Amino acid sequence: MIRLVVVDDDYLVTTSLKTIIEVGQEIEVVGIGHSSSEAVQLYQEFSPDILLTDIRMGESTGLDAAKAILSETPEAKILLLTTFSDDEYIVEALKIGVKGYLLKQDMEAIVPSIKAVNNGQSVFGHTIIGKLPNLLQTEKSEKVCPFELTERELTTVALIAEGMNNKEIAQELFLSEGTVRNYISSLLEKLELRDRTQLAIFYYKHLK
């Protein structure tokens, strides 16, 4: 019996997933959560064979939970489930070592994927696999000179310069506010600046 924790901020989704996953009686859903923090807590509480988690969940993401869990338990098996095939998420998922990345549209693939991950395989949906060659080829050329900022970082700085707050930037870039805060912290450290005002000034002086 495969022991599974399921996390999604949509209560209907977690209920539906539990029903679908447990039909064959080969997988038991031992815990259900609805946030990144609950994903970490439930993993620590139940030590499941696999964590199946959504990515976009309010202030922080399933990727944040995966990072936290993998930092403590590198052998953890984590399967990401999302409605988005966002390139940045895919690259980050590969970097941190999750075992799979599936789109919610591929419902029929969820149970076989859980079984495959439990057997030590890595599983990515057809849409994701189609993106991998291009993503892996372009990842090395993503940085932009002379300040070595990625396209997403450049966009973030530009939106800050326009006066947007974290919530507005998150909505504009389809990210969580927690991810935006992380970007800004990284930018301040990378550019050796003190605050958002200095980031805005930096943008108009060097990037505009």
Which range in 15-29, 112-126, 158-172 is most confidently predicted, on average pLDDT? 15-29
- Comparing CA positions, the residue from 97, 108, 117, 95 lying closest to residue 49 is 117
Question: Domain limits of the chain?
Answer: 2-139, 143-207
How high is the pLDDT of residue 133?
Answer: 59
What region does 84 belong to: left with phi over 0, alpha with psi -120 to 50, or beta?
beta
What residues contact 205, with CB distance under 8 A and at least 6 apart? none
With bands split at pLDDT 50, 70 and 90, how would you rate the model's confidence at 144? very low
pLDDT at position 8 over 90: yes
Phi and psi, residue 78, nearest 5°: -125, 130
Condensed to tens digits (0 to 9), the pLDDT of residues 27-83 reads 999 999 999 999 999 999 999 999 999 998 877 899 999 999 999 999 999 999 887
For 21, the 3-state DSSP assignment is: helix
Whole-number Å distance between alpha carbons of 107 and 101: 13
Just give the CATH number of 2-139: 3.40.50.2300
Query: What average pLDDT does range 117-144 have in this prediction?
Result: 65
With bands split at pLDDT 50, 70 and 90, how would you rate the model's confidence at 172? confident
With bands split at pLDDT 50, 70 and 90, how would you rate the model's confidence at 199? confident
What residues contact 31, with CB distance under 8 A and at least 6 apart? 5, 6, 42, 45, 46, 48
Q: How many CB atoms lie within 10 A of CB 121?
A: 12
pLDDT at position 17 over 90: yes
Just give the CATH number of 143-207: 1.10.10.10
- 22-to-6, 30, 107, 115 alpha-carbon distances in Å: 12, 11, 14, 12
